[in-house]
Amino acid sequence: MPKKTVGIYTLGCKVNQYESEAIAELLEKEGFDISSPAEPCDAYLINTCTVTAESDRKARQFIRRAIAKNPDAVVVVTGCLAQTSAEMIAAIDGVDAVVGNTKKLFAAEELCRLVREGQKAKSPAVSVDPIENACFEEMQIRSFERTRAYIKIEDGCESRCTYCIIPSARGKIRSKAPEDVLSEVRTLTENGCREIVLTGIETASYGKDLGNVDLATLLEQIDKIEGIGRVRLGSLDPSLIRPDFVEKIAKLSSLTPHFHLSLQSGSSRTLAAMKRKYNAEQAMRAIELLREAIPNVKFTTDVIVGFPGETEEDFRDTAEFLRNARFLMVHIFPYSKRKGTPAATMPNQIPDEIKRRRLHELEAIAEDTRRTLLTEAVAKEPVTTVLFETYEQGMAYGHTADFLEVAVPASRPMHGEIHSVRLKTTDGALCFGEKI
């Protein structure tokens, strides 16, 4: 008898990606084949995001797309939108179960139960507990489909930024026990993983609820694991980057010289309105501290344009910050109202046409900076190591430790392999080289 197939749609952050992989491993143990969600499957699991209104729209679209592919399939919805809008999801005809963020592995158990019963649910089973009572849900992965593996080390956020709905979807800060993180890293390393990405909803807050460990200490312990490859960090709040933290991590051989800073704005006035934990001067000092301590370090970031009340002067401050910070990549988002957040009812909401114009201006600055950084890398650091990830039409693609994307001619895929490469040219988006 053929195995039942499950298609898993994952929207949103690296934490969701990790949780979907843990769910997939559990379903495989239960005898399911994990299939492409683009194909008709016996069951679908949709792991949703709710960070923006567009995320909500995409989640609903994916749910309806799964139902359309196979109206008889079991459809289970989990994730952040399931936590905040369970009734709305349950009202979609064809959804069989809605499971919140406090027990995502239960979503796999519900899917198994419904498939065993062999018929669609007469009414959706809704299992959403108050997020305020959530504990860290124990889950681990042993394998990885991508070249790099994500490990969730922290969940929840208590910052309460005025634009963000995520604390309502993820709850308080809760950290994975360090011994469990180390065990998972060892297993993945032994299974051939060459790059680990430590991620969380607020990675910088790791250990605050434990009291006896922090992120720097955890990184020091991981650095001692035999055979450890690259270790990369998920998004970090700039307020974490203080002299004592930088002094500790600068000594680590496994930590990559690349940091993604959750900046959001280069204007101190806007950052205060957002209720971020730093101002523009402190954020720039964080970048300078890392540049002083770690050779060839690169930075990527997120920026919101058009936050309520953002003046032209505020915007110019952000543009100037991006020029001075020299980010390798900038993810730029127009401000999106989230019902239930303070920013949604703030005065001086910015018209969409101004948001679009500001977004395009920042994109131009980001593209120019990236081109300059890649040109400098070709000139100053022509020999580097690349972890290869994909292969297409005779070209292998991968990333350096400092997150430059590199393409080299290749006669075969080199997925998961690290090779020395001589950089030759750049087109402003990626570098081209030859394997040494």
Look up the CATH number of the domain holding residue 420: 2.40.50.140
Domain count of the fold of the chain: 3
Domain hosting residue 101, numbered range: 5-133
Residue 139 forms part of a structural domain: no
Measured in degrees and rounded to the nearest 5, phi and psi for residue 404 equal -80, 135
Residue 104 tokens, joined: 């995502």
Residues 123 and 241 in one domain: no
Q: What is the pTM of this model?
A: 0.94
What stretch of H or E contains 101? Answer: none
Out of 133, 156, 185, pick the residue that ends a domain. Answer: 133
Quick one: pLDDT at residue 133? 86
- Across 271-297, b (16+ Cβ under 10 Å) vs e yields bebbebebbbebbbbbbebbbeebebb
Residues 258 and 337 in one domain: yes
Quick one: pLDDT at residue 134? 92
Going by pLDDT thresholds of 50, 70 and 90, the confidence category of residue 388 is: very high
Residues 121 and 209 in one domain: no
Residues 125 and 51 in one domain: yes
Residue 118 forms part of a structural domain: yes
Quick one: pLDDT at residue 264? 98
Going by pLDDT thresholds of 50, 70 and 90, the confidence category of residue 306 is: very high
What CATH number is given to the structural domain containing 41? 3.40.50.12160
pLDDT at 89 over 90: yes
List the single range of 248-252, 339-343, 363-367 with lowest mean pLDDT.
339-343
Residue 142 forms part of a structural domain: no
Alpha helices in 171-309 (DSSP H): 178-190, 215-223, 243-249, 268-274, 280-293
The mean per-residue pLDDT over the stretch 79-102 comes to: 97
Give me the chain's average pLDDT, please. Answer: 96
Q: pLDDT tens digit string along 240-293?
A: 999 999 999 999 999 999 999 999 999 999 999 999 999 999 999 999 999 999
What stretch of H or E contains 324? Answer: helix 312-325
Residues 19 and 100 in one domain: yes
List all residues 6 or more positions away from 205 whose beta carbon is below 8 Å from its beta carbon.
154, 157, 158, 173, 175, 237
How far is residue 177's CA from residue 40's CA, in Å, rounded to a whole number? 39
Residues 389 and 317 in one domain: no
Quick one: pLDDT at residue 385? 97
Residues 34 and 90 in one domain: yes
Residues 412 and 327 in one domain: no
How far is residue 360's CA from residue 153's CA, in Å, rounded to a whole number? 35
Contact (CB, 8 A) for 398 and 389: yes
Q: pLDDT tens digit string along 124-165?
A: 999 999 999 899 999 999 987 778 899 999 999 999 999 999
The mean per-residue pLDDT over the stretch 212-236 comes to: 97
Residues 40 and 12 in one domain: yes
Quick one: pLDDT at residue 140? 92
Residues 265 and 327 in one domain: yes
Residue 226 forms part of a structural domain: yes
How far is residue 218's CA from residue 199's CA, in Å, rounded to a whole number? 13
Measured in degrees and rounded to the nearest 5, phi and psi for residue 33 equal -95, 130
Quick one: pLDDT at residue 1? 63
Residues 10 and 117 in one domain: yes
Residues 98 and 163 in one domain: no
Contact (CB, 8 A) for 81 and 75: no
What CATH number is given to the structural domain containing 339? 3.80.30.20
The mean per-residue pLDDT over the stretch 103-113 comes to: 96
Higher pLDDT, 340 or 206: 206
Number of Cβ atoms within 10 Å of the Cβ of 86: 18
Residue 141 forms part of a structural domain: no
Out of 80, 107, 133, pick the residue that ends a domain. Answer: 133
Q: pLDDT tens digit string along 1-56?
A: 679 999 999 999 999 999 999 999 999 999 999 999 989 999 999 999 999 889 99
- Across 203-223, b (16+ Cβ under 10 Å) vs e yields bbbbbbeeeebbbbebbeebe
The mean per-residue pLDDT over the stretch 102-120 comes to: 95
Quick one: pLDDT at residue 117? 93
Task: Report the percent of the chain where pLDDT is more than 70.
Answer: 100
Residue 24 forms part of a structural domain: yes
Total number of residues shown for the chain: 436
Residue 32 forms part of a structural domain: yes
Quick one: pLDDT at residue 404? 98
> Residues 375, 376, 379, 382: what is their CA dihedral angle, to the nearest 10 degrees?
-90
Residue 140 forms part of a structural domain: no
Contact (CB, 8 A) for 35 and 65: no
